[in-house]
Amino acid sequence: MCGIVGLIGFDSKLGPEPIGTMNHTLRHRGPDDEGYLAVDTQGQHIKIVPLRGNDSASKSEPLLDRFTGGANLYLGHRRLAILDLSVAGHQPMQHGDSLWIVYNGEIYNYVELRQELRAVGYEFNTGTDTEVILAAYDRWGEECVTHFNGDWAFCILDIKRRSLFLSRDRYGVKPLYFFRTDAHFAFASEIKAILSLSFVPKLLNREKAFQYLALFCGDHTEDTLFDGIYQLMPGQSMKVDIRTRKTHIWRHYTLSYCEELGEYDDRRAVAYAADVRDLLFDAVRLRLRADVPVGTCLSGGLDSSAIVAITAKILGTDVNAHMQKTFTASFPGESIDESRFARVVADSVGAVGHVICPSREGYWRDLPVLLYHQDEPFGGPSIYAQWEVMHEASRHVKVMLDGQGGDEVFAGYRDYRVSFLANLYAQRRICPLLTELWYTMKHARGIRSAIAEIKPLPAFVLGNFWKQRIYCIRYRQELEQAQRIYGLYGQRELDDLDRMFSANVNELLFYYMTVYSLPHLLRGEDRNSMAHSIETRVPFVDHRLVDYVFSLPGVYKIRHGCTKWLLRLAVQDLLPSEVVRRTDKIGFATPRWASRQEEWNAWMQLSLFPQEAAGL
């Protein structure tokens, strides 16, 4: 994982200072190497000059700050070396006479793709996946991304076509932001790099602010909280024509889902679980490919525990593998503390467990720098717990596997269980409905917990009009606050509640996967890990696994009040029974050290003077 930046001046040449400043803001994403490309496309013949910075591993190129030739297009790169740690992995990387790339991410099936491309005549000089991307683009053009199994955000400069080809992975694991006017086009891995440009205004996107405060959504559209700065959405690609200034965005991947609830069958469930197991094992196997130490996040929940157990099985067959290292956040004395489950899992697989204890004092002390790295507000202090985990992990490893996406793929949240009940009710399956209600109440801890479990049911059963009324009552304070501050009432945004409270469990999974939950979680994880120069990998969002599970009927997602039914079946022999059979879903929870409004106010102050406020 790395940091990438780019800048075009359509009307005039630009000096090297802006691209240097942009790249410097991303140094944390890639402290191992630094590289630039200056391109003049305005003459009859294109002029290309590779340049270096102070952190460049190679000293053979001219320094960026001494470049006086002038250019109207620049590319910049910060490298976190994961594959082929030699200087051969330096970027921007060239292929032939006409292709250059800056790239952030990992293509996990690069070994197989390299073999396929070699079979048709391509030669490779490095052990990187970057070189494979360039060859794949040369071979298949813009369709190359359909061959990738991985997480990516890259820009390929195609000299022959005088264009930029930018692309982002299917689920948005890696970020890519851009800004465009008639005079300029800029892109970067993080918003702060774009904000460093003098011609980019710092203006609040008021509609996005309302969505964040009132609807708890932050990463679900191309808009950001900075007016005029956009993100390339997950599964999208973009082409920028340098001559005509036209940009074209299209979707190279679209997630689909089975709309049927289906009829449960034990034999089919076992077969589906076996397929899930095979796909998950292969997803983890591919994500263990690295030339640096790899560790694993371990919360104590089912998702991260499954990753740890599968990793142990795979490493157990590798005589050269080191003992697995796990990293856990603990809150001693709190009811949400899951560290005892994490210890049980780590001990069961023989892993070396590292426990971190985030505190309220640390949260408020580190909040300015945390907000600076996140770029936009986040959902709560769990982000800080993850921050502390990554900080400790950076002392031991350079790559971390994590369980993000497990809840969104396998139905792990309470709302999925309520949606499943509503799904049964909508189809008038009374006996299964009563059975699921019984088990839901049985798994609850006491009467209050049982009532809390089924309390949201009316919002899922009733029509959209009543969903809006219920939402307005439940979140009256948040809505009033957003209206008072911004003079807005997002009735148009409230129309989306029909999907947020869908009576089709697979539709709700799709919504959480693409809109409400996963995009926000992935953004937080990317910034937290990269702030500490750590690459994170998320096996649960391997597209083969996601596509398969989303193709299955909804009845196989929850069974007898147990969420993640297929995942439990798939890994039940790998984990201690007390972990597999847990029904007290906690998630990556933390004590409530601040309100959403307090964090919003802190972000508003920080956004005016980000580096000064963060002490950077």
* Calpha distance 121→41 (Å, rounded): 31
Judge whether 69 and 10 are in contact, CB under 8 Å.
no
| DSSP 8-state code for residue 428 | T
Report the candidate in 274, 341, 280, 353 with the shortest Cα–Cα distance to residue 311: 280
Bond preceding residue 358 cis, omega within 30 of 0 = no
Structure-token pair, residue 340: 């005892």
Q: How far apart are CA 104 and CA 176, in angstroms?
A: 9
Check if the beta carbon of residue 216 is closer than 8 Å to that of residue 381.
no
155 and 8 in contact (C-beta within 8 Å)?
no
In 3D, which of 264, 260, 147 has the Cα closest to residue 505?
260
Burial of 405 from C-beta contacts in 10 A (0-12 / 13-18 / 19+): buried
Question: Annotated catalytic sites, by residue?
Answer: 2
Q: Any residues with CB less than 8 A from the CB of 139 and at least 6 apart, and which?
A: 117, 120, 122
Q: Is 162 exposed, middle or buried (0-12, 13-18, 19+ CB in 10 A)?
A: middle
- CA-based nearest residue to 206, from 228, 223, 225, 222: 225
d(CA 406, CA 205): 31
- Torsion angle, CA of 516/517/522/527, rounded to 10 degrees? 80
Instruction: Give the separation between CA 144 and CA 60, rounded to whole angstroms.
Output: 32
Calpha distance 344→488 (Å, rounded): 50
Alpha helices in 261-359 (DSSP H): 266-287, 302-315, 339-349
The continuous run of DSSP H or E covering 263 comes out as: none
Phi and psi angles of residue 272, each rounded to the nearest 5 degrees, phi first: -60, -45
Q: At what angle do helices 430-443 and 414-426 cross, to 10 degrees?
A: 160
Edge-first strand order for the sheet with 247-251 is 93-95, 99-107, 150-158, 163-168, 236-241, 247-251
Give me 339's structure tokens: 């560290």
How far is Cα 226 from Cα 218, in angstroms, rounded to an integer?
Answer: 12
